[in-house]
């Protein structure tokens, strides 16, 4: 087998692994997102408990990055402190290391079992939770299959003449090896996938233990940086969580690398295989970070929070550094102008999503400072909305094809819908949150769970709508409309359950009746604003009937 064919097979196996990990993560978020968020809120204020919870969450999500982003959102909304959030992320990274250990066992027999059960649940399940549980099991099966493919695709590399030369260079240059591990992990956005690839090379005796250790340390640093980028639009309190973890993890990784170069490789149970030694080193490094990180969390968080506040204060009165995608020179080039407008609309939609995310948190813990920041975002959204409409009006005056003219109209409509969604968030949800706080009203437990579940579903649909905006993918557009109809059905069911509670004269339901119904309508309107982008695509494909989707 030639090296090009071996690398081709290796790339295919790696892509399957990355996709399978992502499949499990999204399945967990869709099936159990609201439950996990409520559990995370209930453990606030207890760093040790949050660390343990972070370990469990990372094992469930199979991603420490997902836990870091979720935790940063809670810190940003004021539900937990920055130091407690960092403790949670440290636990999540330890949980992610334990996932590597679990997947290193010979579990190939489990793949067909997961495929059969998962496939049955996904295709035959009536409830959303059944379908998403099926999705999770199929994802686990694909992870196990991809690991087998990795082992098979890396085996031929042992006989190649070029590989030893590369390995010799990496052995002599641990800094390059460290940077390679960090950059590669950041590029594929999955520390688990990166580490499993390293282990696959070790299992075939292609990469020696000392080189693998340098890569593992680099992967720890690169994996921590992923969340730093993903939460860059949060307020400083939220940003400081992954940033503190990145600083602590990177400095520790560099120090350990330096110590190994000076003292030599530590002997980790020499009777164990090279694979097990690498895995135990990775777990040990993360356990060490939890132990030494606890006393350092508060000073590091406070220092970084001060720096972020200083940077924010310096930029507060300066013009926005964000470069607009609406280029004057592109107006006479409709294809480029419409592509640029799509990118600008993506920013607009992401900003609306940022406004919407803490809405339900403000119901529980109304924060005037947070509300002021959301009002600032409203001004930004309205400004960008106006610029987009003026820009598209000028583009429409050019010599456009029929498809370009239609796309131009669709983008204008979506921009208007983003402005409408913003108005609903500010004038309905934020006002209701303030009223609930001032009057000290309390929802019934059932009613509050229903609202949280709907809010979570809208967030998922927002991401789906942004994917449709960029890709114009027919299947994704169809899924978005299905999700919109499902949310409408859930809203109606919540209203019926609320009326049932009123008939039983439950005090909390009586006191918050109007607020519950107004919140339901607001959530549904925001969801409809985002879902609108799908209808034009489905109509062009003949997949819409007069009132419903074609079967």
* Most confident residue range from 192-201, 210-219, 233-242, 353-362: 210-219
Last residue of a domain, one of 288, 314, 340: 314
User: Domain check: are 269 and 344 in the same one?
Assistant: no
Phi-psi region of 264 (alpha: psi -120 to 50; beta: other; left: phi over 0): left
Residue pLDDT, tens place only, 399-414: 889 999 999 999 999 9
pLDDT digits (tens, 9 = 90+) for 97-124: 999 999 888 888 899 999 999 999 988 8
Domain assignment present for 322: no
Q: Does residue 546 lie within any of the structural domains?
A: no
Is 551 within the bounds of a domain? Answer: no
pLDDT tens track for 131-174: 888 988 999 999 889 888 887 887 777 677 777 788 888 888 99
The verdict on 417 and 454 lying in the same domain is yes
Mean pLDDT calculated for residue range 43-49: 68
Q: How far is CA 48 from CA 83, 85, 87, 99, 402, in A?
A: 11, 11, 7, 20, 61
Residue pLDDT, tens place only, 274-309: 899 999 999 999 999 999 988 888 889 888 888 887
Q: With b meaning 16 or more CB within 10 Å and e meaning fewer, what string describes 262-278?
A: eeeeeeeeeeeeebbbb
How much is the pLDDT for 339?
93
pLDDT at 373: 83
Contacts of 377 (CB under 8 A, 6+ apart): 351, 354, 355
Task: Give the pLDDT score at 349.
Answer: 92
Final residue of a domain: which of 268, 289, 314? 314
Residue 548 lies in a domain: no
For residue 509, the model assigns a pLDDT of 61
292 assigned to some structural domain: yes
Q: 308 with 374, same domain?
A: no
**pLDDT at residue 127 in the model:** 77
Range of the structural domain that residue 348 is part of: 328-540
Mean pLDDT of 410-437: 93
Task: Collapse the DSSP code of 398 into the 3-class scheme (helix H, G, I; strand E, B; otherwise coil) and give the result.
Answer: coil
Count of domains in the chain? Answer: 2
Assess whether 219 and 351 both reside in one domain. no
pTM of the model: 0.69
Using CB atoms within 10 A of its CB, is residue 165 exposed (0-12), middle (13-18) or buried (19+)? Answer: exposed
Confidence grade of residue 258 (pLDDT, cut at 50, 70, 90): very high
Domain final position from 314, 336, 356:
314
Residue linked to tokens 């919109």 = 484
* 106/179 same-domain check: yes
Between 101 and 75, the more confident residue is 101
What is the average per-residue pLDDT within 456-474? 88
Task: Of 426, 422, 241, give the one whose Cα is nearest residue 349.
Answer: 422
377 and 472 co-located in one domain: yes
Q: Which two tokens stand for residue 524?
A: 């549904």
Instruction: Tell whether 293 and 353 lie within a shared domain.
Output: no
- Nearest in space to 209 (alpha carbons), one of 219, 199, 218: 199
Q: Are residues 286 and 365 in the same domain?
A: no
Same domain for 370 and 431, yes or no, is yes
pLDDT above 90 (res 90): yes
Which of these ranges, 157-166, 324-333, 362-371, has the smallest mean pLDDT? 157-166
pLDDT at 319: 41
């Amino acid at each position: 087998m030639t090296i090009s064919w071996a690398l081709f097979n290796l790339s295919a196996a790696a892509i399957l692994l990355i996709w399978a990990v992502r499949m499990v993560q999204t399945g967990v978020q869709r099936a159990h997102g609201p439950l996990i968020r409520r559990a995370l809120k209930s453990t606030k204020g207890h760093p040790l408990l949050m660390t343990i919870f972070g370990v469990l969450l990372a094992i469930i999500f199979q991603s420490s990055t997902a836990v870091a982003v979720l935790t940063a959102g809670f810190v940003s909304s004021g539900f937990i402190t920055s130091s407690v959030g960092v403790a949670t992320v440290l636990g999540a990274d330890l949980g992610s290391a334990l996932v590597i250990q679990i997947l290193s066992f010979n579990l190939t027999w489990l793949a067909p079992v997961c495929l059969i059960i998962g496939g049955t649940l996904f295709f035959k399940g009536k409830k959303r939770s059944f379908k998403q549980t099926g999705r999770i099991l199929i994802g686990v099966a694909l992870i196990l299959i991809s690991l087998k493919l990795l082992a098979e695709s890396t085996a031929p590399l042992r006989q190649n003449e070029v590989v030893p030369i590369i390995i010799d260079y990496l052995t002599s240059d641990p800094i390059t090896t460290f940077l390679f591990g960090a950059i590669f992990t950041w590029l594929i956005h999955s520390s688990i996938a990166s580490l499993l690839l390293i282990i696959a090379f070790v299992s075939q005796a292609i990469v020696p233990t000392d080189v693998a250790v340098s890569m593992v340390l680099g992967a720890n640093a690169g994996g921590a940086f992923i969340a730093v980028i993903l939460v860059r639009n949060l307020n400083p309190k939220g940003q400081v969580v992954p940033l503190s973890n990145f600083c602590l993890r990177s400095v520790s990784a560099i120090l350990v690398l330096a110590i190994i170069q000076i003292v030599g490789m530590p002997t980790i149970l020499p009777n164990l295989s090279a694979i097990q030694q690498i895995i135990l080193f990775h777990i040990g490094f993360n356990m060490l970070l939890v132990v030494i990180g606890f006393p350092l969390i508060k000073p590091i968080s406070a220092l970084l929070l001060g720096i972020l506040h200083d940077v924010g204060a310096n930029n507060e009165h300066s013009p926005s550094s964000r470069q607009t995608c609406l280029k004057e020179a592109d107006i006479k080039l409709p294809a480029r102008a419409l592509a640029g407008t799509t990118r600008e609309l993506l920013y607009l939609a992401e900003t609306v999503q940022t406004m919407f995310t803490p809405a339900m948190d403000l119901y529980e813990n109304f924060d005037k400072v947070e509300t002021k920041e959301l009002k600032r975002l409203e001004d930004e959204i309205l400004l960008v909305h106006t610029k987009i409409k003026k820009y598209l009006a000028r583009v429409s005056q050019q010599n456009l094809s029929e498809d370009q003219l239609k796309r131009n109209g669709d983008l204008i409509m979506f921009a208007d819908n983003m402005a409408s969604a913003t108005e609903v968030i500010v004038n309905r949800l934020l006002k209701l949150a303030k009223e609930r706080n001032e009057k000290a009203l309390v929802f019934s437990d059932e009613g509050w769970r229903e609202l949280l579940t709907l809010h979570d579903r809208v967030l998922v649909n927002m991401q789906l709508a942004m994917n449709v905006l960029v890709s114009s993918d027919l299947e994704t557009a169809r899924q978005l409309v299905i999700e919109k109809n499902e949310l409408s059905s859930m809203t109606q069911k919540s209203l019926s359950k609320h009326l049932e509670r009123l008939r039983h004269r439950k005090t909390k339901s009586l006191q918050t009746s109007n607020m519950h119904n107004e919140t339901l309508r607001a959530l549904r309107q925001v969801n409809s604003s985002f879902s609108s982008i799908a209808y034009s695509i489905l109509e062009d494909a003949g997949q819409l009937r007069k009132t419903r989707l074609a079967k």
